[in-house]
């Protein structure tokens, strides 16, 4: 089918021209099938099952664009943030000029969250879990979405993520929103289509042939994907007792020399790095100059050093230890062809367009069982094998066919691999909802107002995939009723759901906060306990970080901890030493851990490591140093920051639901931001600018040159700032600072030198004071306290008076006053170290502002 035929379906000519340029003049067979036989541009649900690289994603794209051009909203769901980012860049570049607003939303990319929640978009690229959270917060948004494209639907079988995806999809289907699901690796697609009320679009040929098979003793025995014929190819031979790595090195060397790019999937990050180093030594390829040049522009990291070394020989590795920028550079290098060999963990296995000629696959993987906090080794699934192999022979690349190769060092391995993977059948979707506690899902369903009684919950759950395929066959109506009631009771007991007299169930504010942040009930209980102990006491960053790092939702292998580290790194000792002077009497994790004489468990030590690492991260620790000190790579630091920032943000939401004081909630929210960005408070205002979005290293450099506050930036020379960033950023920074300064009605007149008062407080700027000519931002209570003291400089202001002025009639604990005083001084001394003693305590009486009367000016 010619692309121009799309005119008949009301696709504007200019969009058709765009697609002709980006894809080709013709539609691929699965695309034609979806349009002509299954009414892609119509209304009904579709489930597309077609091989890797057959053009499914472009089917979703066409439907999305056609819907968005009708001014209807589309949500495009993907399983990984890398895929969301890739599609976002592509869609934005292609369609923004046609008036379509494209946004992306992942846990890392929050810039458009407001737009997503308010429905201000044409197409939103969203990771599945993120949409679940949105729908808890704004359930009415379902009605505004016309089309949901759900890519890589095999995610339903994922033990960790599958249950939430299943609930989300059930809700989407019940809302009547049009759904187009896609996957390359679904067994029994008709069965899933039936559940979705969708037409199954099935097609079984790849545009480019794929030879998939096993390499043993120098012979690659394969089957062809399209022809389904068998054949043999002589590849590089090795000595009879060669190991899998030797065979791999030999063959990669030959392929790469023939200009055939190779992608090698391994099971661990360590293996990917080591493997790339080995291969770089073995193959002689030219250096990947562009990638090297771009990497040199990034900040120092250990992963970058290692990458630079392997890239010198045209080899790269790809795993979650790399920072997002590093990952993008190696992906681009591989796409452009200058990187010929890439060793990767499964991060590249799904959906990514990688022009590999040959893919080598290791058939083992590590899985992490959250319930027992234990990793275990398992064989990869047939569907994972197919997805990985599908990165070879992508349509649009120069090759005639691709190879997906399993290495068998022995004849026995050969037979076993052939039977399991080459002859094996794709697994059918295996729904996972029945294997997890139901209460978390019950809470989310009530919070998103999808269900509000026992009956409606039961009805909904019976309509899920698990309900239809498993519960209906295996458990009675009464048993189901019992399970639902028990789950509700657990959530009621935790204070998150409440039963109303008329059989209705509703969420409490606590439950609503928990559901909207997507955390589990188990984690929420621990956070709530910490909040209750901490609202009115002085606590430190480490205290908070450890509390969140120890929760069940913080568990996971994103931060490594080796057995050697577990035994020798003495993280608990470091924690004890760091807190030795602190008098903490509250019943909080930091106290429990530091007073415990037994060796903590493995997961507890990982949490202590995470908390220590993050406390240095927000103290603006240098990434290179942190990597060395904590034996991690930058990607792990970012992943930990992400995970803990999410949990701190949830803590703030729970605190707000409990009606905690504003200062406390805001403090928590700022910590969430500081952890996410790895910055101290001072840098937060300038870090929020977008554009220019300034990376952490540049922000730290600005601070090192004292060019990070609005007052400093407004008065700095453009060239001085540009030396640390670039001209455009410098200009934007100056104009931002000047705008702030212009709005600043009480900016001291520095030019005339007439400014006398050391301290200026003006109610027209309640969040800010001017001290020694510098603007210092303060929280509301801190501002009020300083203002109270400033009314009688040099005199002791009694505690009672301060309480009344600052907190009015609210009852607060006595240490709040000292806590706020300490915060004011901390805040001030970061900018003005000489003012550390601005407020003096008169024991049992009150505070004194240590300034002469004539140096204090109070505005109107
Ligand atoms: N009509 C077309 N003409 C030329 N190239 C196309 C066409 N449609 C898609 N392609 C290209 O083919 C490649 C594979 O397409 P796509 O990513 O849509 O496959 P897929 O079926 O989604 O694969 P996977 O299962 O791996 O996600 C892409 O590079 C895409 O740009
Ligand atoms: Mg795809």
Can you give the pLDDT at residue 112?
86
Question: Domain check: are 171 and 50 in the same one?
Answer: yes
Cα of 26 to ligand 1 centre, how many Å?
A: 12
> Ligand 1 pocket test: which of 19, 23, 80 has the largest number of ligand atoms within 8 Å of its C-beta?
23
Would you say the pTM of this structure is higher than 0.75?
yes
Give the three-state DSSP class for 508.
Answer: coil
Whether 746 has a pLDDT exceeding 70, the answer reads no
Q: What contacts 24+ positions apart, CB below 8 Å, involve 793-796?
A: 793/849, 793/851, 793/852, 793/853, 793/855, 793/856, 794/848, 794/849, 794/850, 794/851, 794/852, 794/853, 795/848, 796/842, 796/845, 796/846, 796/847, 796/848
Cα of 59 to ligand 2 centre, how many Å?
A: 9
Mean pLDDT over the full length of the chain: 91
Q: What is the residue with the minimal CA distance to atom 5 of ligand 1?
A: 23
Provide the domain count of the chain. 5
Q: How confident is the model at residue 135 (pLDDT cuts 50, 70, 90)?
A: confident
Q: Give pLDDT tens digits for 238-268.
A: 888 888 999 999 999 999 989 999 999 999 9
Whether 752 has a pLDDT exceeding 80, the answer reads no
Closest C-alpha among 482, 481, 479, 506 to residue 495: 506
In 79-173, which ranges are E strands?
Answer: 102-105, 123-127, 145-150
Residue 485 tokens, joined: 């009631």
Single residue among 172, 202, 232 that ends a domain in this structure: 202
Cα of 52 to ligand 2 centre, how many Å?
A: 7
Question: Domain check: are 274 and 170 in the same one?
Answer: no
Cα of 184 to ligand 2 centre, how many Å?
A: 8
Domain assignment of residue 844, yes or no: yes
> Ligand 1 pocket test: which of 15, 34, 50, 58 has the largest number of ligand atoms within 8 Å of its C-beta?
58
Ligand positioned closest to the Cα atom of 353: 1
Domain assignment of residue 744, yes or no: no
Q: Using CA atoms, how far apart are residues 850 and 18, in angstroms rounded to an integer?
A: 69
- Per-residue DSSP letter, 205: -
Single residue among 389, 422, 455 that ends a domain in this structure: 422
Atom index in ligand 1 nearest the CA of residue 184 equals 25
Residue 431 tokens, joined: 């729904």
Whether 572 has a pLDDT exceeding 70, the answer reads yes
Q: Which of 74-83, 517-526, 561-570 has the lowest mean pLDDT?
A: 561-570
Write out the H or E segment, with its range, that includes residue 292. Answer: helix 289-296
- CA-CA-CA-CA torsion sign (489, 495, 497, 502): positive
81: CATH: 3.40.50.300
Can you give the pLDDT at residue 837?
86
Atom index in ligand 1 nearest the CA of residue 25 equals 3
Can you give the pLDDT at residue 753?
39
Residues with CB under 5 A from ligand 2 (ion): 57, 351
Pairing of strands 209-216, 401-407: parallel
Residues of the domain holding 494: 433-517
Domain assignment of residue 358, yes or no: yes
Cα of 253 to ligand 1 centre, how many Å?
A: 29
Whether 349 has a pLDDT exceeding 90, the answer reads no
3-37: b (≥16 Cβ within 10 Å) or e:
beebeeeebeeebbebbeeebeeebbbbbbbbbee
CA-CA distances (angstroms) from residue 357 to 212, 315, 397, 530? 12, 15, 9, 53
Question: Domain check: are 485 and 547 in the same one?
Answer: no
What are the DSSP calls for 461-489, one per residue? Answer: HHHSHHIIIIIHHHS-HHHHHHHHHHHHH
Question: Domain check: are 405 and 451 in the same one?
Answer: no
Cα of 754 to ligand 2 centre, how many Å?
A: 66
Question: Domain check: are 541 and 410 in the same one?
Answer: no
Q: Give pLDDT tens digits for 479-521.
A: 999 999 999 999 999 999 999 877 899 999 999 999 999 999 9
Domain assignment of residue 728, yes or no: no
Whether 306 has a pLDDT exceeding 90, the answer reads yes
Contact between residue 736 and residue 832 where contact means Cβ atoms under 8 Å apart: no
Pairing of strands 401-407, 358-361: parallel
Q: How confident is the model at residue 802 (pLDDT cuts 50, 70, 90)?
A: confident
Question: Domain check: are 615 and 470 in the same one?
Answer: no
Q: What percent of the chain has pLDDT over 70?
A: 98
The residue that leads in pLDDT, 564 or 654, is 654
556: CATH: 1.10.3380.20
Atom index in ligand 1 nearest the CA of residue 3 equals 1
Closest C-alpha among 289, 324, 301, 265 to residue 106: 324
Q: Using CA atoms, how far apart are residues 483 and 439, in angstroms rounded to an integer?
A: 9
Q: Is 394 in the pocket of ligand 1 (CB under 6 A)?
A: yes
Cα of 57 to ligand 1 centre, how many Å?
A: 6
Contact between residue 95 and residue 44 where contact means Cβ atoms under 8 Å apart: no
Sequence-ordered list of residues with C-beta below 8 angstroms from that of 449, at least 6 positions apart, any chain: 139
Mean pLDDT of the 119-129 span? 94
Q: Which of 214-218, 281-285, 388-392, 571-575 has the lowest mean pLDDT?
A: 281-285
Q: Using CA atoms, how far apart are residues 371 and 843, in angstroms rounded to an integer?
A: 51
Q: How confident is the model at residue 750 (pLDDT cuts 50, 70, 90)?
A: very low
Domain assignment of residue 664, yes or no: yes
Can you give the pLDDT at residue 404?
97
Whether 816 has a pLDDT exceeding 50, the answer reads yes
Contact between residue 20 and residue 12 where contact means Cβ atoms under 8 Å apart: no
Whether 755 has a pLDDT exceeding 50, the answer reads no
Question: Domain check: are 7 and 155 in the same one?
Answer: yes
Write out the H or E segment, with its range, that includes residue 621. Answer: none
Domain assignment of residue 698, yes or no: no
Domain assignment of residue 164, yes or no: yes
Question: Domain check: are 350 and 246 in the same one?
Answer: yes
Ligand positioned closest to the Cα atom of 61: 1
Domain assignment of residue 723, yes or no: no
Sequence-ordered list of residues with C-beta below 8 angstroms from that of 813, at least 6 positions apart, any chain: 536, 537
Single residue among 659, 678, 697 that ends a domain in this structure: 678
Question: Domain check: are 487 and 537 in the same one?
Answer: no
482: CATH: 1.10.10.10
Q: Is 24 in the pocket of ligand 1 (CB under 6 A)?
A: yes
Can you give the pLDDT at residue 445?
95
Q: How confident is the model at residue 743 (pLDDT cuts 50, 70, 90)?
A: low
Give the three-state DSSP class for 253.
Answer: helix
Q: Is 390 in the pocket of ligand 1 (CB under 6 A)?
A: yes
Can you give the pLDDT at residue 744?
61
Q: Give pLDDT tens digits for 149-203.
A: 999 999 999 988 999 999 999 999 999 999 999 999 988 899 999 999 999 999 9
What are the DSSP calls for 579-594, one per residue? Answer: TTT----S--HHHHHH
Question: Domain check: are 214 and 198 in the same one?
Answer: no
Whether 754 has a pLDDT exceeding 50, the answer reads no
Q: What contacts 24+ positions apart, CB below 8 Å, involve 290-296?
A: 290/333, 290/336, 290/338, 291/316, 291/329, 291/330, 291/332, 291/333, 291/338, 291/339, 294/329, 295/326, 295/329
Q: Give pLDDT tens digits for 388-402.
A: 999 998 887 778 899
CA-CA distances (angstroms) from residue 478 to 7, 435, 458, 475? 55, 19, 11, 8
Can you give the pLDDT at residue 364?
86
Residue 558 tokens, joined: 């994103």
Can you give the pLDDT at residue 703?
95
Question: Domain check: are 399 and 271 in the same one?
Answer: yes
CA-CA distances (angstroms) from residue 797 to 647, 808, 814? 39, 16, 15
Give the three-state DSSP class for 667.
Answer: helix
Pairing of strands 505-507, 364-369: unpaired
Question: Domain check: are 852 and 819 in the same one?
Answer: yes
Instruction: Count CB atoms within 10 A of the CB of residue 374.
Output: 11
């Amino acid at each position: 089918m010619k692309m121009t035929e799309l005119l008949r379906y009301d696709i504007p000519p200019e969009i058709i021209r765009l697609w002709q340029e980006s894809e080709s003049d013709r539609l691929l067979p699965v695309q034609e099938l979806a349009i002509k036989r299954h009414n892609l541009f119509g209304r009904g649900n579709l489930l597309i099952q077609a091989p890797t690289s057959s053009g499914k994603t472009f089917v979703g794209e066409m439907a999305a664009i056609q819907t968005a051009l009708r001014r209807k909203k589309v949500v495009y769901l993907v399983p990984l943030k890398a895929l969301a980012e890739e599609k976002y860049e592509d869609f934005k570049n292609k369609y923004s000029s046609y008036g379509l607003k494209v946004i992306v939303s992942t846990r890392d990319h929050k810039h458009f969250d407001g737009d997503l929640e308010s429905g201000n978009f044409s197409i939103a690229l969203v990771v599945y879990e993120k949409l679940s959270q949105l729908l808890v917060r704004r359930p009415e948004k379902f009605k505004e979405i016309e089309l949901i494209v759900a890519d890589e639907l095999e995610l339903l079988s994922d033990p960790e993520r599958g249950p939430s995806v299943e609930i989300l999809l059930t809700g989407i289907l019940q809302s009547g929103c049009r759904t187009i699901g896609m996957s390359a690796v679904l067994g029994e697609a008709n069965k899933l289509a039936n559940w979705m009320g969708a037409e199954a679009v099935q097609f079984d040929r790849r545009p480019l042939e794929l030879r998939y098979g096993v390499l043993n003793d120098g012979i690659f025995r394969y089957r062809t994907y399209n022809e389904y014929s068998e054949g043999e190819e002589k590849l590089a031979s090795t000595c009879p007792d060669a190991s899998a790595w030797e065979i791999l090195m030999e063959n990669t060397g030959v392929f790469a020399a023939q200009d055939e790019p190779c992608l090698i999937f391994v099971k661990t990050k360590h293996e990917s790095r080591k493997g790339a180093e080995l291969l770089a030594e073995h193959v002689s390829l030219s250096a990947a100059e562009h990638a090297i040049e771009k990497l040199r522009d990034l900040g120092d990291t250990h992963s970058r050093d290692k990458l630079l070394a392997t890239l010198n020989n045209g080899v790269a590795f790809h795993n979650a230890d790399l920072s997002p920028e590093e990952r993008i550079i190696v992906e681009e290098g591989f796409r452009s062809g200058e990187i010929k060999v890439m060793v990767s963990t499964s991060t590249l296995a799904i959906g990514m367009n990688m022009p590999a000629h040959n893919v080598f696959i290791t058939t083992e993987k590590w899985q992490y069982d959250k319930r027992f906090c234990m990793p275990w080794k398992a064989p990869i699934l047939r569907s994972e094998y197919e997805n990985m192999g599908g990165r070879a022979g992508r349509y649009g690349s120069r090759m005639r066919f691709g190879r997906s190769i399993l290495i068998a060092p022995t004849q026995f391995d050969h037979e076993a691999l052939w039977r399991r993977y080459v002859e094996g059948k794709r697994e059918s979707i295996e729904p996972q909802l029945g294997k997890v506690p139901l209460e978390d899902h019950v809470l989310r369903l009530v919070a998103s107002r999808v269900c509000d009684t026992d009956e409606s919950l039961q009805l909904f759950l019976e309509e899920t995939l698990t309900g239809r395929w498993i519960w209906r066959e295996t458990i009675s109506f009464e048993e189901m009723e019992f399970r639902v009631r028990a789950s509700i009771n657990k959530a009621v007991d935790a204070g998150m759901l409440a039963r109303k007299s008329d059989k209705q169930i509703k969420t409490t504010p606590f439950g609503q906060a928990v559901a909207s942040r997507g955390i589990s009930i188990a984690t929420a209980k621990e956070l709530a306990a910490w909040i209750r102990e901490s609202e009115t006491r002085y606590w430190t960053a480490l205290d908070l970080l450890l509390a969140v790092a120890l929760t069940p939702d913080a568990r996971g292998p994103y931060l490594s901890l080796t057995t050697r580290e577990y035994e020798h790194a003495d993280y608990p000792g470091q924690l004890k030493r760091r807190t030795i002077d602190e008098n903490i009497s509250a019943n909080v994790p930091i106290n429990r851990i530091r007073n415990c004489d037994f060796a903590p468990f493995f997961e507890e030590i990982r949490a202590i490591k995470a908390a220590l690492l993050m406390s240095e991260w927000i103290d603006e620790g240098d990434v290179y140093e942190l990597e060395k000190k904590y034996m991690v790579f930058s990607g792990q630091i970012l992943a930990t920051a992400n995970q803990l920032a999410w949990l701190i943000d949830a803590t703030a939401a729970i605190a707000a639901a409990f009606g905690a004081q504003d200062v406390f909630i805001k403090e928590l929210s700022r910590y969430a931001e500081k952890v996410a960005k790895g910055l101290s408070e001072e840098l937060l205002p300038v870090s929020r600018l977008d554009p220019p979005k300034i990376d952490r290293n540049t922000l730290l450099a600005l601070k090192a040159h004292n060019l990070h506050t609005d007052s400093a930036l407004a008065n700095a020379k453009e060239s001085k700032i540009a030396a640390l960033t670039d001209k455009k950023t410098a200009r934007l920074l100056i104009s931002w600072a000047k705008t702030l300064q212009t709005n600043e009605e009480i900016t001291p007149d520095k030019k005339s030198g007439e400014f006398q008062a050391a301290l200026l407080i003006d109610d027209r700027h309640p969040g800010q004071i001017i001290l020694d000519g510098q603007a210092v931002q303060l929280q509301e209570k801190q501002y009020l306290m300083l203002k109270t003291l400033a009314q009688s400089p040099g005199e002791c202001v009694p505690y009672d008076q301060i309480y009344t002025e600052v907190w009015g009639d609210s009852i607060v604990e006595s240490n709040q006053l000292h806590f706020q005083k300490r915060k004011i001084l901390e805040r001030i001394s970061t900018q003005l170290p000489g003012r550390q003693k601005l407020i003096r305590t008169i024991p049992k009486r009150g505070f004194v502002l240590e300034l002469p009367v004539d140096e204090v000016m109070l505005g109107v």
